Amino acid sequence: MALSQNLAPSGRNAVVVVHGGAGAVDRTKLTPAREREARAKLEQALKAGYKAIADGGNSLDAVVAAVKVLEDASIYNSGRGSCLTRNGKIEMDAAIMDGTTLAAGAVASITCVKNPVTAARAVMEHTHHVLLVGAGANSFARKIAPTAGLKIVEAEYFKTAHAEQNLKHYLEAEAEAKKRGGKRPSGLTTGSSQCDVQEERHEEPLGKKYGTVGAVAVDKQGHVAAATSTGGTVGKEPGRVGDTPIIGAGTYADDETCAFSATGEGEHFIRGSVGHEVSALIRHLGLTVAQAAERVVSVTLARTAGDGGLILVDANGNYAMRYNTLGMYRGVIFEDGSVKTAIYNE
């Protein structure tokens, strides 16, 4: 079953929608085996979210279940397989938001929780804060782990040979660009499009690929939720935080409008408060989720020349996916359990 870029503006009856990153996904470099693996993980994530609701859970349970699958899949840039900072370290960000109460939780630059999305939920449910970062986030996670069911792992768990190769090639490209007096290379990447780093290193620097994963869901009571998780960008400065854990930028949910998760060049999503902008367009102009998605991509992101994509679902199961890059890993599961996945404009 194929999906168009906008996933049919009148699309209905969605239960869970996921993304695995948008960017310069080159068909010629995405091998059939890698594409099958990427799609299989998207489908597994969708089914995990669907099962959470079928078993009596709510939309929060669904988005956590879906994102955990993608965090565990090393082909995506979140959890295991996350990008490395320029000093070779892992710093992950995640967020979750409940559309019923507007409760939210997020972590940034976390290094010790197997599934960062669960740490974000713990912040939401076990503190009166929204965002914890760095050493404080790690300390909280370790302390709350037995109560919140967090799995603590060593930082080495998240590293993969592929991520180390990407950092090596990024630093080499950066050094070469410096010699030529050229522009610093982009370190944005989707895990699953990293099908052949050796080939990619000769592209205009590392291509432009965005590695966040995310999920939005609506449950049987019509409540929506969103969750997003990322390993950041290759060679980023230690301490850099993108849009993922910023509520209203890369993650947002409100039962009265929609649930939203983004992937892209985070600085642009922060500048445009894109998650809240989508919600405001629906609330104040009466736009559909498809119309709002189109508006923020073609207007809001365009103002700062930002690239990326987003997924939306509302309380009635209307959904939309929109991106301004060559492709976006994405999928949806419907009320009847049928699944659609896509990467390109198919």
Neighbours of 239 (CB within 10 A): 11
- Nearest CA to 108 out of 260, 239, 270 is that of 239
Mean pLDDT, the chain, integer: 89
Is 70 exceeded by the pLDDT of residue 221?
yes
Is 300 known to be catalytic?
A: no
Is 50 exceeded by the pLDDT of residue 310?
yes
Task: Give the residue-averaged pLDDT of 47-54.
Answer: 98
pLDDT of 251-290, one tens digit each? 999 999 999 999 998 999 999 999 999 999 999 999 999 9
Number of H helices, E strands in the chain: 10, 12
pTM of the model: 0.91
Neighbours of 54 (CB within 10 A): 13
CA distance 214 to 193: 16
* Annotated active-site residue in 85, 100, 111, 212: 212
Q: What structural domains and CATH numbers belong to the chain?
A: 14-89+206-342 (3.60.20.30)
The one-character DSSP state at 157 is G
Length of the chain (residues): 346
Query: Please, which pLDDT band fits residue 178 given cuts at 50, 70 and 90?
Result: confident
Task: Give the residue-averaged pLDDT of 297-324.
Answer: 95
- DSSP assignment of 96-117 equals EEETTT--EEEEEEE-SBSSHH
